[in-house]
Structures are given as C-alpha cells and as structure tokens.
Amino acid sequence: MILAVLEASDGSLKKISAELAAAARKAQALLGADGVALLLIGADDVAADAACALDCDLCLTVKGEAFSGYAAEAWAAAVVQAAKDVSAPLILFGSTSFGRDLAPRVAGLMEAGLLADVAELTLEDGHLAAARSVYSGKVNARLASLSAVTLATVRPNAFSPAGSAAPQAPRRELEVAVDPASVHCRAREVRRQAATRPELTEASVVVAGGRGLKDPENFHLIEELADLLGAAVGTTRATVDAGWRPHSEQIGQTGKNIAPALYINVGISGAVQHISGVFGSRTIVSVNRDAEAPIFKISDYGVVGDALEILPHLIEEVRRLG
C-alpha cells in the first residue's frame, strides 16, 4: 500500500493531511499498488476519526508515552514499522518543517531514495517520477526514484485535498516499541500563537508587504486586505530585521515557502532570497512603484503605483465585491 504520514495538531488534521491522502491515491493508481494507508502518530481519537473519514483503505495509529510529543528517532521508527507492515513501495510526507525533519531520517533508516518538495507525481519508464521547482522557480527538475522503496515530501497546496469517503476506512493501532535510550531529541513544549489567520505555508491566499510600506503602522492595510480575503499575512526579511514584523511571517530562503493559489505582494522588490520562497504560488499579483522592480519578472499581474494609494482602493473594491 502507499503510505502517507499525516499531521495533526490540537485534535484536528492539518490541511496537508488531506492533500497527502489525495497524492497517495494518485500514486496508488500510477504504481498499481493495492491501496492507501494513512499513518497518524501521537494524535488523539478525534484526529484519527477524521483520518479514517478521508479517502483511504486503512488508517494506522501509533500511540503511547513515547509518541506524546514529536521525538524524531521514535517517530522515524514508527514510520519504518508502518511501512513494513503495509509493504509500502512509497511513503509520502508533507514538505513541512515536520516532514522535512522526519522524511530524511526514515530514508536513512530504510536506505531509500527521497524525492524532496515534489509538486507532481508521474510514471516514467515504469519508475515513479516527480517534478519540483529549483533555482528560485527558474528550472523545473524532473526526478525519478530507482530504489525499491521511495520516500517523497509533497509541497503544500500542490494536490487538491482528498474528500471524505463512506464508509470510513478501518483503523488499526500499531504497537511500536522504542528504546528510550535511542531518543536523543524530544519536543518538550509547543507554544502556539493566537492565530486568527491561516498558517502561511498552508494558506490558499497570501498577502505580503515589504519595506515599500514605509512604516510598520501601514501594515494595518495589509492585514485588512488579508482578513477580507481570508488570507495569511507574509513579509520580507527586510521588515523582520527592522523589527516591523515577526519572523514567523517571513517568506523566502531563510523564512517559509508558500504555495498559495493567489499571492498578493505590495512594496516588495523581489530579491532572489524572497522569490525562492514564492515560486509555488499559482498567481502572483505585485504592487510596486518601480516599474523595473525584479518582482514584476515573476508576476502574472502588476500594478505600478504607490502602495499607500493602491491598497485602500484594493480594500474598498474587495469589500464591495463581497
């Protein structure tokens, strides 16, 4: 079976989980595998029920003290055991901070090939192949895995989330024995910010502002537009370094990668380190007063003008439409 390692927090599945289920179903058809198994580690019954309701054939859970918080070595051991249990030829993870930490560990333990940050899965000459953007979106790389077992991290928003299926898939709990001495690193505490907006890496719309907003006070315009669109707020390193915005909002090489359907950016020059985090965006709309700003090279729509004049009009128009 194709195995997908899901993510949950506070009793809810994260959005990437339904996307992984969809990617797994697609891979199952490509490889002719005999089903899709979803794996949920350290989550409660509510999240497990939600996983069973996704379009899959089996839901595996791993519980117990060793899995109550993320512990890389223990969780990697659980994935390896689940993969063996369902004879998985392919194991999918989210290309998230969690998946990017866990997948290489599992690849090392299983001596398996890892396709990182994939946006598409295909079959080439009988081998699973994947596409991913490299060099800040300038090149589309095609990767093929030649190992017997393949692992892949799947870029958020690359696959439409799987719907629910009836009847629910059966659930089975896996007993995974972990030697405590083998666990060298454990997350002891997770501090959540009171978030009223979607998570940047999962959002289907992102509105970001840069140094061109001139003053941190003016970010209320970015926030207002974001809230009208149900979007996440993003920014550049320049404003983070200036103490205008928190690092959690930074997009780019030393921040987060985004892959929304719509990325609206205002007063952002388009430095290569910023662009490297946005190339997964489907449609890019840029507002900049400099018609030569590099951001326009990757934009689908561009507005040349003053951010502080354009933003209030944009907000008014979005409000009027709906």
Ligand X SMILES: Cc1cc2nc3c(=O)[nH]c(=O)nc-3n(C[C@H](O)[C@H](O)[C@H](O)COP(=O)(O)OP(=O)(O)OC[C@H]3O[C@@H](n4cnc5c(N)ncnc54)[C@H](O)[C@@H]3O)c2cc1C
Q: Which is nearer to ligand X, 172 or 247 (CB)?
A: 247
Tokens of 234: 């993003």
User: What are the two backbone dihedrals, phi and then psi, of residue 154, each rounded to the nearest 5 degrees?
Assistant: -105, 125
Q: Which is nearer to ligand X, 197 or 211 (CB)?
A: 211
Q: Least distance (Å) from ligand X to the CB of residue 249?
A: 10
Contact of 144 with 128, CB cutoff 8 Å: yes
Q: Which is nearer to ligand X, 21 or 311 (CB)?
A: 311
Alpha-carbon distances, residue 299 vs 264, 266, 294, 309 (angstroms): 9, 12, 9, 20
Q: Least distance (Å) from ligand X to the CB of residue 208?
A: 9
Q: Least distance (Å) from ligand X to the CB of residue 20?
A: 26
Q: Which is nearer to ligand X, 18 or 307 (CB)?
A: 307
Put the strands of the sheet holding 262-266 in their side by side order: 232-235, 205-209, 262-266, 283-288, 301-304
Buried b (16+ CB within 10 A) or exposed e, 44-82: eeebbebbbbbbbbbbbbbbeebbeebbbbbbbbbbbbb
Q: Which is nearer to ligand X, 200 or 268 (CB)?
A: 268
Q: Least distance (Å) from ligand X to the CB of residue 268?
A: 4
Q: Which is nearer to ligand X, 99 or 212 (CB)?
A: 212
Binding site for ligand X (CB under 6 A): 210-212, 236-239, 250-255, 267-269, 271, 273-274, 287-290, 293, 306-308
Q: How far apart are CA 199 and CA 202, in angstroms?
A: 5
Place of tokens 């859970």: 61
Instruction: Calculate helix-pair angle for 219-229, 307-321, nearest 10 degrees.
Output: 20
Q: How far apart are CA 93 and CA 111, in angstroms?
A: 16
Closest CA relative to residue 225, chosen from 265, 279, 282: 265
Alpha-carbon distances, residue 289 vs 65, 269, 284, 299 (angstroms): 55, 10, 16, 14
Q: Which is nearer to ligand X, 59 or 251 (CB)?
A: 251
Q: Least distance (Å) from ligand X to the CB of residue 274?
A: 3
Q: Least distance (Å) from ligand X to the CB of residue 243?
A: 13
Q: Least distance (Å) from ligand X to the CB of residue 143?
A: 24
